């Protein structure tokens, strides 16, 4: 696989240093908290969409990007937002855009987005909570008759997981101008190298004509709610998390080649065993994650040949490393690269592949958007925590062009990407309510800015 | 997979300590070396059978037990031995028995056997050299008009490799009474768990009616020629090897189970990473092979789930360990078992499988059979070396019931189970000539014993 390197440029926040306008935020606090999301409706949507499109016997969700389940849930989402009178569009990456008009429709909408796709053996919350909260906010606004100043846009970003078609956050990266759409359309199914996401978007009827670009579909801001996927909020007994940054990441695909021959008869000193070499690298990557206080994982791992009596000659694997500090993260990258070279030299292996597939630097969310979330949580009386996101979400890419921030809900035992993934109805609605309050606050800031 | 433990009982040599009758062997040496195998015909058969049934573009052989290529070469072998006037039978494990009558047909035949199947990406010599040498010996005897005292039987043992249907040496183990035939017939294809070798024997027309048993198809002795599969003969510039023993072996299937969750967001200390645990075991097994002077290999290795953003939760692997010393070999077994338990405890993993699939103790071949080979090599003026076999062959099982010994030919760089496997025409014919001389010597011993 050729290297497809995403590298995020400076975050929006770093480029446009907007100080939070706290006085404005606090002055009208009570009215921002008057509208209430429906905990029951949100919970029902999370479960009913799962049932209709991808529920698995073990209580999880399997809804791979552009598969038949993804089509089903997309069709349902389109029907729901059309019923609300939203302006509905699909872009060339299959992203669904549902715009509820505001008073000033010349302004780009405030986006509330996330994804409806899952990993192969995922849970009900990672992704759907975000899009369905956007839908819930739109429903509450519509039902209340309250008209926002800017339009509100609910977005279903295509292929956030990248589980079927790597890399992840594909459509938001295209929207941000960080990934060429033609290259994106050619990305292939991990289980079937002949199928591209471009083909599958056409097959399910979601290859829209509108360009997928922040220039064509601009936003005034982007808010996203997601389960935390880690144990910090739960461990500290917090109601909700306000995400103000994202740690950096390097993702590599690597391949080692040795030589296969008889396993029983080849003297140890003559071996070029790719599996034994790869095993050293797996442990070195684990060690680096532990010793730096970051994270590091070898995930995909395939060894060949699969024969009882042959020495393994080919191992292909993927690994990723995360750290909040750029210098430390880049140090990890260099240490792994040196270690892989040393193992190859020591063990007589060739490095057939060593590709940096995806990287992003540690990133800071927009201060004003974060402040809106914080004011909302405070006003609602929630016990909140500001925290860093350990992984990328579509918000990483929206943050390159528009003020962005995220809400995290606690999730049981910090588990995600697993059928056991769970956030309580209360956790979900507390997060949604926090997001709604922040959207109304941000909208109010826009009103002041543009109508004042 | 349930444990199917083969454990070889005492070797025939250990039970029946027959001292070599050297005087007899030497007295008639020159006549034993008068008949000459045809180097060209043997070389042609090795290559033409490969071309007709399983030649691969990379110069190797892919002829998995009971596949269509195996059927083709079996049909050819049957036709060849019938042309020679052999009595031809197929047993219930699909073994082909081709008996050239002798003077005293009440005596069990002297067997010359090996296998025609290969591993998935194998060479032309591992196996076929043995059966085709048997055929060459039968042709030479027939053409010369020489009648042996005992009948001579060329045997194609089914599924020696066990590459498609593990475990290896399947039919010879059934013949030796070490593996129940019903259990053998149920062994499944590694690539398709619904297909059994019993089904496939029927499909290719090789499920014979005759019981596969040393009681029903007894032998007076068994000789086998094989490429060495290691570098000793080549390194020492030897013409041929006389194999007097086999090192012992333990083969295990193991499975570790952790827990899969998000790779980017799960703190290192909360992980139960089955791949990282398995990596430690791979390296410990390699260390044991090196430090004991034996061999040890993790071969099959599968990790799940195969998703970029998930921690691996399930690894299944197979490993084998070989050593000439039983106490050392059993010590290796115990050390790995303790190490696996420690890793499981340290890393929060469950041991889902830990099955001893196949084991055999270090084994000694029959002194008289070995002496016949040694006398033959000496008489022919070959520079030979007595050596231990590092892996099992069908001779391991015949040795449990009848005097057995093996010939090794040097092979280039000691490589086997690889398309690069190569033994020269001269190496092959020197080995075949050594074997022919030994068979004639052993036949002469039988004549003395039974007609004297």
**Tens digit of pLDDT at every position of chain B (452 positions):** 333 444 444 344 333 333 334 444 444 445 898 999 999 999 999 999 999 999 999 999 999 999 999 999 999 999 999 999 999 999 999 999 999 999 999 999 999 999 999 999 999 999 999 999 999 999 999 999 999 999 999 999 999 999 999 999 999 999 999 999 999 999 999 999 999 999 999 999 999 999 999 999 999 999 999 999 999 999 999 999 999 999 999 999 999 999 999 999 999 999 999 999 999 999 999 999 999 999 999 999 999 999 889 999 999 999 999 999 999 999 999 999 999 999 999 999 999 999 999 999 999 999 999 999 999 999 999 999 999 999 999 999 999 999 999 999 999 999 999 999 999 999 999 999 999 999 999 999 999 999 86
ipTM at complex level = 0.91
C-alpha distances out from residue B250 to B118, B333, B343, Å: 22, 7, 20
Residue B120 to residue A305, Cβ atoms within 8 A: yes
**Distance, CA of B404 to chain centre:** 13
Exposed e or buried b per residue across A23-61, where buried means at least 16 C-beta atoms within 10 angstroms of its C-beta: ebbeeeeeebbebebebeebbebbeebbeebbbbeeebb
pLDDT in tens, A183-206: 999 999 999 999 999 999 999 999
Supply A403's token pair.
Answer: 């003020």
What DSSP character marks residue B264? T
Answer whether residue A26 shows pLDDT above 70.
no
Judge whether A55 and A61 are in contact, CB under 8 Å: yes
- As a whole number of angstroms, the distance between CA A63 and CA A163 comes to 10
A287: nearest CA partner in chain B: B268
Beta bridge partners of B272: B259
Across the interface, which of B251, B306, B414 has its CB nearest the CB of A300? B306
Cβ neighbours of residue A159 under 8 Å, at least 6 residues apart?
Answer: A65, A66, A93, A94, A115, A117, A165, A168, A170, A171, A197
**Rounded to the nearest 5°, which phi and psi values hold at A343?**
-60, -45
- As a whole number of angstroms, the distance between CA B184 and CA B166 comes to 9
Supply B173's token pair.
Answer: 């183990």
A282: nearest CA partner in chain B: B276
Q: Report which of A361, A438, A432, A357 is spatially closest to residue A400, judged by C-alpha positions.
A: A361
pLDDT for the residue numbered A88: 98
Cis, peptide link before residue B305, omega less than 30° from 0: yes
- As a whole number of angstroms, the distance between CA A374 and CA A365 comes to 13
What would the mean pLDDT of A268-272 be, rounded to a whole number?
97
pLDDT in tens, A143-160: 999 999 999 999 999 999
Across the interface, which of B283, B311, B415 has its CB nearest the CB of A276? B283
Across the interface, which of B280, B299, B322 has its CB nearest the CB of A308? B299
Planar angle of CA B371, B372, B375, nearest 5 degrees = 80
Judge whether A155 and A88 are in contact, CB under 8 Å: no
Fold for B12-247+362-451, please state it.
Aminopeptidase (3.40.630)
Cβ neighbours of residue B448 under 8 Å, at least 6 residues apart?
Answer: B21, B24
Residues of chain B contacting A166 with CB distance shorter than 8 Å: 308
Fold for A12-247+365-451, please state it.
Aminopeptidase (3.40.630)
Scanning the structure block, which residue is given the tokens 């004639």? B440
**Rounded to the nearest 5°, which phi and psi values hold at B189?**
-65, 130
For B348-424, where are the alpha helices, taking DSSP H only?
367-379, 394-398
What DSSP character marks residue B28? T
pLDDT in tens, A53-93: 999 999 999 999 999 999 999 999 999 999 999 999 999 99
Confidence of residue A382 (pLDDT cuts 50, 70, 90): very high
Across the interface, which of A268, A269, A416 has its CB nearest the CB of B261? A416
- The nearest CA of chain A is from the CA of B168 a distance in Å of 9
First to last CA, chain B: 53
Judge whether A221 and A371 are in contact, CB under 8 Å: no
Residue B162 to residue A270, Cβ atoms within 8 A: no
B319: nearest CA partner in chain A: A308
Residue B119 to residue A309, Cβ atoms within 8 A: yes
- As a whole number of angstroms, the distance between CA B211 and CA B218 comes to 11
Residues of chain B contacting A4 with CB distance shorter than 8 Å: none
Residue A416 to residue B265, Cβ atoms within 8 A: yes
Write the DSSP assignment of B129-143 as a string of letters. HHHHHHHHHHHHHHH
C-alpha distances out from residue A121 to A58, A126, B55, B208, Å: 9, 11, 41, 47
Kindly report the CATH number that applies to the domain delimited by B248-360. 3.30.70.360
pLDDT in tens, A97-122: 999 999 999 999 999 999 999 999 99
Residues of chain B contacting A310 with CB distance shorter than 8 Å: 119, 121, 299, 417
* SS3 call for B350: strand
Residue B305 to residue A121, Cβ atoms within 8 A: yes
Answer whether residue A312 shows pLDDT above 70.
yes
pLDDT for the residue numbered B7: 42
The number of beta carbons lying within 10 Å of the beta carbon of residue B337 is: 15
For β-strands B384-389 and B240-246, DSSP reports them as parallel
- The nearest CA of chain B is from the CA of A21 a distance in Å of 32
Across the interface, which of B166, B264, B302 has its CB nearest the CB of A308? B166
B393: nearest CA partner in chain A: A264
C-alpha distances out from residue B240 to B234, B275, B439, Å: 9, 44, 16
Q: Report which of A46, A43, A51, A83 is spatially closest to residue A69, judged by C-alpha positions.
A: A51
Judge whether A127 and A160 are in contact, CB under 8 Å: yes
B273: nearest CA partner in chain A: A297
B64: nearest CA partner in chain A: A307
Residues of chain B contacting A231 with CB distance shorter than 8 Å: 267, 270
Across the interface, which of B167, B261, B301 has its CB nearest the CB of A303? B301
Residue B235, judged by CB atoms within 10 A of its CB (0-12, 13-18, 19+), counts as exposed
Across the interface, which of B266, B290, B415 has its CB nearest the CB of A414? B266
Judge whether A154 and A74 are in contact, CB under 8 Å: no
Residue A282 to residue B283, Cβ atoms within 8 A: no
- The nearest CA of chain B is from the CA of A229 a distance in Å of 6
Residues of chain B contacting A303 with CB distance shorter than 8 Å: 301-302
What DSSP character marks residue B49? H
Residue A309 to residue B320, Cβ atoms within 8 A: yes
What would the mean pLDDT of A419-440 be, rounded to a whole number?
98
Substitution target in B229, B252, B263, B280 with the highest count of A β-carbons within 10 Å is: B263
Residues of chain B contacting A298 with CB distance shorter than 8 Å: 275-276, 312
- As a whole number of angstroms, the distance between CA A193 and CA A202 comes to 17
- As a whole number of angstroms, the distance between CA B435 and CA B447 comes to 18
- As a whole number of angstroms, the distance between CA B409 and CA B227 comes to 5
Residues of chain A contacting B230 with CB distance shorter than 8 Å: 262, 265-267
Across the interface, which of A167, A267, A307 has its CB nearest the CB of B299? A307
What DSSP character marks residue A250? E
B252: nearest CA partner in chain A: A308
B282: nearest CA partner in chain A: A276
Judge whether A417 and A122 are in contact, CB under 8 Å: yes
Counting every residue written for chain A, the total comes to: 452
Query: What's chain A's average pLDDT?
Result: 93
Substitution target in A163, A332, A417 with the highest count of B β-carbons within 10 Å is: A417
- As a whole number of angstroms, the distance between CA B13 and CA B38 comes to 32
Residues of chain B contacting A228 with CB distance shorter than 8 Å: 265
Would you list the domain boundaries of chain A? Answer: 12-247+365-451, 248-360
Substitution target in B163, B189, B241, B268 with the highest count of A β-carbons within 10 Å is: B268
Residues of chain A contacting B300 with CB distance shorter than 8 Å: 306-308
Cβ neighbours of residue A252 under 8 Å, at least 6 residues apart?
Answer: A318, A319, A320, A336, A354, A355, A356, A357
């Amino acid at each position: 696989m050729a290297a497809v390197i995403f590298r995020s440029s400076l975050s929006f926040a770093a480029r446009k240093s907007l100080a939070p306008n706290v006085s404005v935020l606090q002055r009208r606090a009570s009215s921002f908290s008057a509208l209430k999301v429906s905990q029951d409706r949100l919970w029902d949507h999370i479960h009913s969409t799962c049932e209709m499109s991808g529920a698995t016997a073990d209580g999880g969700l399997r809804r791979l990007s552009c598969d038949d389940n993804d089509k089903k849930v997309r069709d349902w989402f389109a029907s729901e937002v059309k019923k609300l009178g939203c302006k509905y569009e699909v872009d060339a990456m299959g992203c669904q855009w549902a715009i509820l008009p505001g008073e000033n429709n010349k302004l780009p909408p405030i986006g509330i987005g996330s994804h409806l796709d899952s990993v192969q053996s995922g849970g009900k919350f990672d992704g759907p909570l975000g899009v369905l909260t956007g839908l819930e906010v739109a429903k509450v606004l519509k039902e209340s008759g309250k008209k926002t100043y800017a339009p509100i846009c609910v977005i279903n970003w295509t292929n956030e997981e990248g589980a079927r078609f790597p890399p992840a956050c594909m459509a938001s990266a295209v929207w941000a101008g960080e990934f060429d759409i033609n290259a994106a359309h050619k990305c292939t199914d991990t289980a079937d190298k002949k199928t591209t996401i471009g083909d599958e978007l056409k097959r399910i009827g979601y290859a829209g004509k509108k360009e997928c670009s922040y220039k064509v579909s601009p936003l005034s801001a982007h808010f996203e709610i997601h389960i935390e996927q880690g144990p910090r909020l739960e461990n500290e007994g917090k109601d909700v998390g306000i995400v103000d940054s994202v740690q950096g990441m390097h993702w590599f695909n690597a391949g080692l080649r040795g030589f296969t021959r008889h396993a029983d008869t080849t003297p140890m000193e003559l071996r070029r065993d790719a599996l034994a070499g790869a095993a050293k690298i797996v442990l070195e990557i684990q060690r680096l994650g532990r010793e730096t206080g970051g994270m590091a994982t070898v995930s995909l791992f395939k060894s060949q040949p699969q024969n009882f009596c042959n020495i393994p000659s080919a191992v292909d694997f993927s690994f990723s490393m995360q750290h909040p500090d750029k210098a430390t993260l880049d140090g990890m990258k260099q240490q792994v690269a040196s270690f892989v070279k040393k193992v190859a030299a020591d063990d007589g292996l060739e490095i057939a592949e060593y590709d940096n597939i995806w990287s992003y630097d540690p990133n800071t969310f927009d201060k004003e958007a974060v402040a809106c979330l914080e004011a909302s949580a405070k006003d609602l009386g929630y016990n909140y925590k500001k925290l860093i996101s350990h992984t990328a979400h579509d918000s990483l890419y929206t943050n390159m062009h528009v003020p962005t921030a995220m809400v995290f809900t606690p999730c049981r035992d910090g588990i995600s990407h697993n059928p056991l993934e769970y956030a309580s109805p209360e956790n979900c609605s507390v997060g949604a309510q926090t997001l709604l309050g922040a959207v109304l606050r941000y909208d109010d800031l826009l009103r002041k800015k543009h109508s004042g």
